[in-house]
Amino acid sequence: MGACNLNHSRQDVRMKLESQQEFLPKPLSEALKGLLEEEQKQETLNEIFHLLKKYDLSSEEEQEVRNQKLNQLLK
């Protein structure tokens, strides 16, 4: 995933999560929804957005890597 210069709003990230929700493990999806209820640093919002971007098109192995990164952000 290349670096992106765009800052993504919390609403952008929520919409991306909604569009990828059916492909994510349910506990991860629910945890991310909860996280997005609170204010987050811009860096965190951007990272979540890019981990969710094209999640459905990623290989199973790539999805697992992304899941691990998303779980790290939830800690």
* pLDDT tens digits for range 27-71: 999 999 999 999 999 999 999 999 999 999 999 999 999 999 999
- 29 belongs to a structural domain: yes
The token duo for 54 is: 């094209």
How many separate domains does the chain show? 1
Q: Which residues contact 25 (CB under 8 A, 6 or more apart)?
A: 67
What's the pLDDT score for residue 6?
83
- 50 belongs to a structural domain: yes
Enter the pTM of the model. 0.91
Distance CA 8, CA 29 (A): 18
- 4 belongs to a structural domain: no
Domain that holds residue 24: 10-74
- 59 belongs to a structural domain: yes
- 1 belongs to a structural domain: no
- 3 belongs to a structural domain: no
Distance CA 52, CA 70 (A): 9
- 55 belongs to a structural domain: yes
- 60 belongs to a structural domain: yes
Q: Which residue, chain included where needed, has tokens 């506990």?
A: 27
